[in-house]
Amino acid sequence: MRKILTPILVLAVTAAVHAQSNLKTITVTVNTTRHQKITGFGAACCDGAMCPYGTDTNPVRLLYGPTSKVGLNIMRMEISPSFKGDENASWSTYNWQGCVPSAKIVKSRGGIVFGTPWSPPGEYKTNGSAKGGNTEDENAVKGKLREDCYEKFFPWLNMYLAYMKSKGVDVDAVSIQNEPDWWVNYSGCLYEPAEQVRLVKNYAHLLDRETYKGVRLISAEPLGFTQNYSDALMNDEEARKHIDIVAGHLYGHAPLDQGNMKDAAKLATKYGKEVWMTEHSVTDNTGKLPTWHEQLLFAEELNECMLAGCTGYIYWYMRAHWAFVGTGDTQYGAANEKNKLLPRAYIMSHFAKYVTGSTRLGTSTTGVTTGKTNSYFETSAYIKGDSIIVMAIDTTKTAYNLTLKLPLKVKSGVCVQSLSNESLCKKTTLDIEEPTKEITVNMPARSFSTYIFMIDRPEETAINSPQAAKRRSPATQYFDMQGRSLAYPTGLCIEKRPDGTTRKIYFDER
């Protein structure tokens, strides 16, 4: 027996209401197929939004940590071309010191910090400048890393890691390059896919992983997440073993577009690599605060990244009228108060608060066409500890009944729902009288809902720890291809048996 109920406001009078019979029904069936584990969500500590460069810590204080209202846990930093971390570098007004104050706060709150070079030092490059070299002069030299300086690149990254460590920040990962396919007139450096492969396969062993234990290497981050960059790395056995995270941006290409993020994630996932979307800004060219419809499109982008295989999503600016924290510039509207959380921050919190640390589950949907960019209804589902989480995004003017069919019985649940720029993250409770696998609720028009269900008697199912069922014995150990111990093996791993023998093994969670 199951009760068909709508959400009820926490602390309000409990009133069970049946789903409306005059509404169409969308049915989402969640299955036990496991996909990627989600590392988290974040934004960039960058010039402009956090002036003087990176040192204004108000945004990170508002956005980061499990007790914050948003729950971000990944921060991106620019590795400026200032050689040796010179705090008085003359090339630019920014340097490695700028991100230290914010990075310290993020790390103290359990977060991940990583650095991306916009350019290596100018003396390493073909044009002799940290700038990309794109000018009106058609004969301008494109700024690329000189091949005779390839051997200097990773030692330069080691200098950055050493500098940050000396300031109290253990950097978790470093990238090869910001947008290697985009010729710019600001700080930039171009690489062809084959050049990146040569750099990584021949010199990435110089990254000092022994001194900076746990530091991971991120691929170059192409403008549109084009797979020609990541596939070239993944198809080269020597280069592949050095890369831990495949990354890219979404400019001009949605996550589910053919030939971009979704396809780039295929080889990365096959070889046990994480997939991070490391920069995109949504509806940032408008002269006003984003509309509610634009906020829902942002929610859909987050959702589509998860469906594409993303394990980490990092937005661009933290503070901008189209981002998470207000700037105080009233030309964009009175709601753009400085250091006040904007609606987009609360949209991000749906994912950051509830999806971080979860594993995505497979879903199928009836009653609506899905699987396309910006579908009018989108969904995804996750398992995290003893909870099953279901996302539902409706961009239309029409309300629906939403039936959720779950793979396990659940005994209780809550809904976190955002309905407009003025009604965000309202928490409601689901009155489930007895354990059930199916529940139907009313889904308001133009809404974003996150349903969090508590599994009934989770100890009786292996869904929470499927890897345990795959282990030969409790004494069997698993390591990634760099020899680091894995509590939950995924992708290509090394299995060490109790008798000391080892073998390569691939865990396919799909």
Q: In a 3-state reduction of DSSP, which class is residue 480? A: coil
**Pairing assessment for the beta strands 173-175 and 112-117 based on DSSP bridges:** parallel
DSSP E strands: which ranges in 198-304?
216-218, 245-249, 274-279
- Percent of all residues in the chain with a pLDDT value above 90, rounded to a whole number: 73
Asked whether the beta carbons of 42 and 75 are under 8 A apart, the reply is yes
Query: Are 8-35+359-460 and 39-354 the same fold in CATH?
Result: no
At 285, the amino acid letter reads: N
DSSP secondary-structure letter at 206? Answer: G
Write out pLDDT tens, residues 240-281.
Answer: 999 999 999 999 999 999 999 999 999 999 999 999 999 999
pLDDT single digits (tens) 421-462: 999 999 999 989 999 999 999 999 999 999 999 999 766 554
Rounded to whole angstroms, how far apart are CA atoms 34 and 27?
20
Six token digits for residue 140:
């301008």
129: Cβ contacts below 8 Å, ≥ 6 apart: 122, 143
pLDDT number for residue 84: 55
Closest CA to 402 of 444, 354, 436: 444
Alpha helix segments (H runs only) across 130-223: 150-166, 193-203
- Kindly indicate the confidence band of residue 18, based on its pLDDT and cuts at 50, 70 and 90: very low
Spatial separation of the C-alpha atoms in residues 124 and 261, rounded to whole Å: 31
Exposed, middle or buried, 214 (CB in 10 Å: 0-12/13-18/19+)?
Answer: exposed
pLDDT of residue 377: 94
Q: How far apart are CA 243 and CA 204, in angstroms?
A: 9
Per-residue pLDDT at 368: 78
For residue 96, the model assigns a pLDDT of 87
pLDDT above 70 coverage of the chain, percent? 83
CA–CA gap between residue 181 and residue 126 (Å, rounded): 16
pLDDT digits (tens, 9 = 90+) for 124-179: 999 999 999 998 887 899 999 999 999 999 999 999 999 999 999 999 999 999 99
Banded model confidence at residue 56, pLDDT cuts 50, 70, 90: confident
Q: Tell me the pLDDT band of 482, cut-offs 50, 70 and 90.
A: low
CATH class for the domain made up of 8-35+359-460: mainly beta
Residue type, 1: M
What class has domain 39-354? alpha beta
Kindly report the CA angle at 396 between 391 and 398, in degrees rounded to 5?
100
Residue 360, CA distances (Å) to 57, 234, 419, 488 in order:
32, 23, 24, 15
Q: Is-contact 31 362, C-beta < 8 A? A: yes
d(CA 360, CA 357): 10
Rounded distance between C-alpha atoms, residue 361 and residue 341, angstroms: 31
Do the Cβ atoms of 350 and 71 come closer than 8 Å? Answer: no
> Is the bond preceding residue 52 a cis peptide, omega within 30 degrees?
yes
What are the domain boundaries of the chain?
Answer: 8-35+359-460, 39-354, 467-507
Comparison of pLDDT for 469 and 454, the residue scoring more: 454
Q: Which pLDDT score is estimated for 5?
A: 38
Residue 92 makes CB contacts below 8 A (sequence gap 6+) with 80, 81, 82, 130, 187
Read off the amino acid at residue 96. Answer: W
Instruction: Please name which of 307, 426, 428 lies closest in space to residue 375, comparing C-alpha atoms.
Output: 307
Q: What is the pLDDT of residues 361-375, one digit of tens each?
A: 999 999 877 656 667
Q: Please provide the DSSP assignment of 20-79 as one string.
A: PTTS-EEEEEEEEEEEEEP-EEEEEE-TTTTSSTTT--HHHHHHBSTTSSS-B-EEEEEE
At 148-158, the pLDDT tens digits run: 999 999 999 99
Of 181, 255, 177, the residue nearest 217 (C-alpha): 177
pLDDT of 370 = 63
